[in-house]
């Protein structure tokens, strides 16, 4: 358990870059298809039930939601994607907002892409990976709902996703908000990106994942 994450609280929400908090300190953003389990993962990581709202209507919230850990550290809940029920204009708006945020946000130190372990690497996940790579961001692919699979299938999917994304500063980790599988390791990665003191030692290599000093 990492007590710093427990301090996370709602700071603000923004529908455009203009409304985001001052671009200083460090932040880590969470992206994911609607219903992938992003809110549950954020709540589990922060040891809080109601921090991020779970089970929203897909595509309804198109805002970046900022949670503050302390004056210099934030977690950002990016708008969920999954566009079967939204207009082309909403989809284009999301693409513009996400690509601009990932390319321009100086304080962004890492991107977590949350995917249901049973449906990894969808089209929009790959789009996020492309933008994250272009922005030279360290990324963590969180394969959540791992409690739905057996141990062999978890390892197999992790290996498949690792092969698909290749080498580079991309870490793949199975996770479950329900069983808390992977919780401490994932907290460790995020804590290192945020420069939190006393970050637990992660079980997997974190080289290339810290960004100090700022990337631009």
Residues that bind ligand GDP (CB under 6 A): 32, 34-40, 54-56, 80, 144-145, 147-148, 176-178
Pick 58 or 195: Cβ nearer ligand GDP: 58
Output the smallest distance, CB 78 to ligand GDP, in A.
10
Output the smallest distance, CB 185 to ligand GDP, in A.
15
Pick 34 or 107: Cβ nearer ligand GDP: 34
Backbone angles phi, psi at 111, to 5 degrees: -125, 125
Helix (H, G, I), strand (E, B) or coil at 177: coil
H helix intervals, 34-150: 38-45, 88-104, 123-134
- The pair of structure tokens assigned to 97 is 């907002």
Backbone angles phi, psi at 48, to 5 degrees: -135, 145
Residue 70 to residue 109: CA distance in whole angstroms: 15
Pick 10 or 214: Cβ nearer ligand GDP: 10
Pick 80 or 110: Cβ nearer ligand GDP: 80
Output the smallest distance, CB 192 to ligand GDP, in A.
23
Output the smallest distance, CB 32 to ligand GDP, in A.
5
Asked if residue 20 lies in contact with residue 68, where contact means CB atoms within 8 angstroms, the answer is: no
């Amino acid at each position: 358990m990492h007590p710093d994450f427990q301090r996370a609280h709602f700071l603000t929400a923004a529908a455009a870059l203009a409304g985001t908090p001052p671009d200083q300190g460090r932040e880590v953003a969470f992206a994911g298809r609607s219903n992938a389990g992003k809110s549950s993962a954020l709540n589990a990581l922060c040891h809080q039930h109601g921090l991020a709202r779970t089970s929203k209507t897909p595509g309804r919230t198109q805002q970046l939601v900022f949670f503050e850990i302390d004056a210099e550290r934030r977690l950002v809940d990016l708008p969920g994607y999954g566009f079967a029920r939204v207009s082309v204009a909403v989809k284009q708006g999301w693409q513009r907002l996400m690509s601009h945020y990932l390319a321009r946000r100086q304080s962004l130190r890492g991107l977590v892409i949350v995917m249901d372990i049973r449906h990894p690497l969808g089209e929009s996940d790959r789009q996020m990976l492309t933008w994250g790579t272009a922005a030279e961001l360290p990324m963590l692919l969180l394969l959540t709902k791992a409690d739905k699979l057996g141990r062999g299938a978890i390892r197999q999917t992790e290996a498949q996703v690792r092969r698909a994304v290749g080498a580079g500063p991309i870490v793949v980790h199975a996770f479950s908000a329900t069983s808390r599988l992977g919780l401490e390791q994932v907290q460790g990665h995020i804590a290192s990106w945020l420069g939190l003191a006393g970050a637990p030692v992660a079980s997997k290599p974190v080289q290339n994942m810290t960004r100090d000093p700022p990337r631009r």
